[in-house]
Chain A
Amino acid sequence: MARYFYMIVFLNMTVHIIFNVPLILIQNRFNGAVISMALSIVIGTILSYMFIKAMSKYPYNGLPEIFMDLLPAYIRVPFLIFLSLMWIAAGSLAIGSFAYLIKLYLNPEMDLRIILGFLVLVLLYGSTRGTQSILYKVEITILTVSPFIAYIIFKALTSNYFYPVHIKRALQYSLEMPNYSSVAAASYIFTGYINLVIMNRNIQAKRILKHFWLIPVLGTLILAFTYFIPFGFLGIKSIGDFVLPWMVTVDTIRMEYGFIERASFLLVMIFMQLSILFAIINWNVGLELMKSALGIEDRKTGKRLFTLVFLGIVGFLTVYFQETLNQRSYFEAVKIWFNLRLPVEILLVLALSLLSLRRKQA
């Protein structure tokens, strides 16, 4: 059903705060972040339209099934494995970034390894569920979380400490040359559609196209909110002093009549729901891709063992990877992944579009 798709897209759009996309953009605030964002909206919209269009030609087929008929095994298998690893990496990086946030704001006295290890265990359970079940969970989570997101945005915009004049000042730097890493980061916001590679088995891509206008509209709104609201609170200079600008921003908001006073805890809880869900989806897609690449059939005896072993290794690597890096180099790694992601995504979309065109002629 199409609504699940839009929820995943929405999820991806909100989850990019944890990935510190705003930070990458904010670092480039004087170097054409605004233009990069505008550019990425165009790129993201075009890519997602092409991809959905192409996928709609293969109803109820995931990417592995499509490739099965069209590509020889020596291209198909490595490509699928590579894609699978990209997905898994996205989930791992998200959960790793989130573990830093937890460590900083929720459990400062707890060992980072334990926090991450625990989150990985949660993911292990969550991501081995069926794709359809995960879609149901997506819907429930998004519906419960979005009122709170709306509330925080409302609170932010009506706060006494929100200075729209800062946003005007930030806009003074609109006409700078865009740079690649900002575009790569900002276009990430649209990337939720790409989960269709597996979700197309459960979602009818044709129906998505009916409400396609939602994607650019939502994307623009969310990108604008997430980029500009921190400016309104922190100004264009001091915003560069913070590792997690959004957390500091929300910490400026007080909920006078709320059950809790500090809005930042509300945000942490929202992030928790969203980032775990995001990682669950990514790992699930990565797992499905890997299973199809290696030809491990559903509901056979080997299936459970394989998923557990595979995700166990992934989970261990996630913890190990974070253990070896400090926070700075971790975010650098995220940036590298972003920069790698955009070309891979474009490649994938183009390849699929070409294949689907051939199908039309045939």
Chain B
Amino acid sequence: MNRKAVLVCTFAVLAGLLTGCAYKDIDKRFFVTSIGVDYSKNPQKPYHVSLKLAIPSPQVQPGKTKFQLITEDADSIAEAVRVMKSKVDKDFDFGHCRVLVFGREILRKHQAEVLNWFMRRRDIQGIAYMALGDPTAEKVIKVKAKSERLPSNAIILSFDETSNDSPYIIPEILNDFYMRLKEEGIDPYLPVIQPLKDTYAINRVVLVKGSRLSKELNMDETRILNELLNTDRRGLIDVKKDENEFFVNVESFKTKTTVVIPRNTKPYVNVHIKIDGYIESSEKKLSHNYELLEDQRLASEVISNRVKSTLETIQKIGSDPLGLGLKYQAKHGVSEDKVKKWNKIYPHIQFKVKTDLKLRGTGIMY
């Protein structure tokens, strides 16, 4: 029996010696909460990497977040991170890095390399949110939001559907971005974050054409794109025609998009929108049902027109965030000449938008 005990002890000690190196307490790690990558204007060291490091404190209070921002220029992100390690007292832990912000220039010039580093690291979460920093990523990361309990938490919360369902925010995660970039027939997009004094503004989205950054959509177009992407974010639709102005609070918004390639006529995209909603505010009193139905018809028309013009804007930019190409491929084949054929069709394709709006009621008042 004694021999067994000795054996167990030896194993334990041996195991302890061998594995001691992997043991690192949570307070000996620096949590990187967001990474920003900009172009540094120096072609030798193009990557301007900034890391936001959380400094944990025993008391967690809103607005009392402490963080440290360190930046470095290097010829690769990996190199930058390595150099930055010498600037701090603890090891970086990227496990809680949920926000990746990029500058416009770096994505124009080195998108593939940047993305490769993030995808390859196992500790960068696939569900990390990606965004474009306007004017630069560093400025976005620098912001200390008033309501934050944790560094970068404000951005995470705004992207999180369970805490913020603003229709102007279109979140994009790393894995999805990568898939959209690689796949032909669907293009990625990035939400644009603008730093304000104590908070951020996220209300636009930048589209990507092929693999290059392209134009931004304005707020309204962003909202409509969001609705077309079938996310669970809902908003308000304002309708104005002549004297009659009212707002529709959207309860559910569903779109069905199909690509139709008829034999003889021109190909078109069928967009069928189904909306359920209530009147939230209205200039005039809606005392009769026919007035409500009239509003309903009016709103459908307005929405259809808006969606159509947004789709045409996107088409003009040449990007395809809705994945219409994928739908075409699913029906007609994935081969290369099919893809080429689609690329020829897409710039001239027509959009037929049909909206089924159902106004469920007028709220508390008539």
Contacts and interface: CB of A to CB of B under 8 A. Distances in A.
A–B touching in complex (CB under 8 Å): yes
A332 to B, nearest CB: 21
Contact of A264 (B119, B126, B160): B126
B288 interface: no
A166 B326 contact: yes
Interface in A239-256: 241, 248, 251-254, 256
Interface residues of B, number: 35
A72 B63 CA distance: 82
Nearest to B121: A108
Contacts of A107: 22
B326 A163 contact: yes
B127 A236 contact: no
Contacts of A172: 329-330, 333-334
Nearest to B176: A161
Contacts of A166: 183, 326
Contact of A104 (B122, B330, B334): B122
A109 B24 contact: yes
Given A109-B21, A114-B19, A165 B127 contact: no
Given A168-B330, A173-B334, A233 B179 contact: yes
B287 interface: no
A262 interface: yes
Given A108-B122, A173-B334, A236 B176 contact: no
Interface string B227-240: 00011100000000
Nearest to B123: A108
Contacts of B21: 109-110
Contact of B327 (A161, A165, A261, A262): A165
Given A163-B323, A172-B333, A173-B334, A254 B127 contact: yes
A238 B122 CA distance: 17
Given A165-B330, A169-B326, A172-B333, A262 B127 contact: yes
A163 to B, nearest CB: 7
Contacts of A111: 18-19
A160 B231 contact: yes
A233 to B, nearest CB: 7
A304 to B, nearest CB: 13
B123 A252 contact: no
B108 interface: no
A234 interface: yes
Interface string B176-208: 101101111010000000000000000000000
A236 B335 CA distance: 12
Contact of B175 (A110, A173, A234): A234
Contact of B182 (A114, A163, A235, A254): A235
B173 interface: yes
A138 B175 CA distance: 35
B59 interface: no
Interface string A10-54: 000000000000000000000000000000000000000000000
A76 B176 CA distance: 55
Interface in B8-24: 15, 18-19, 21-22, 24
Contacts of B179: 233-235, 238
Contact of A237 (B22, B176, B184, B323): B184
A18 B166 CA distance: 40
Chain A CB count within 10 A is highest, among B21, B161, B179, for B179
Given A169-B330, A236-B183, A256 B22 contact: no
Contacts of A237: 182-184
B162 interface: yes
B125 interface: yes
Given A236-B334, A252-B127, A254-B127, A161 B173 contact: yes
Give the top 7 A-B pairs by smallest Cβ distance, nearest first.
A251-B126, A238-B182, A168-B330, A235-B183, A252-B175, A110-B22, A109-B22
Given A111-B18, A238-B178, A238-B182, 5 more contacts: A104-B122, A110-B22, A172-B333, A237-B183, A252-B176
23 contacts: A110-B21, A114-B18, A160-B231, A160-B232, A161-B173, A163-B326, A165-B323, A165-B327, A169-B330, A172-B330, A172-B334, A173-B334, A233-B179, A234-B179, A235-B182, A235-B186, A236-B183, A237-B184, A238-B178, A238-B183, A248-B126, A251-B175, A264-B126
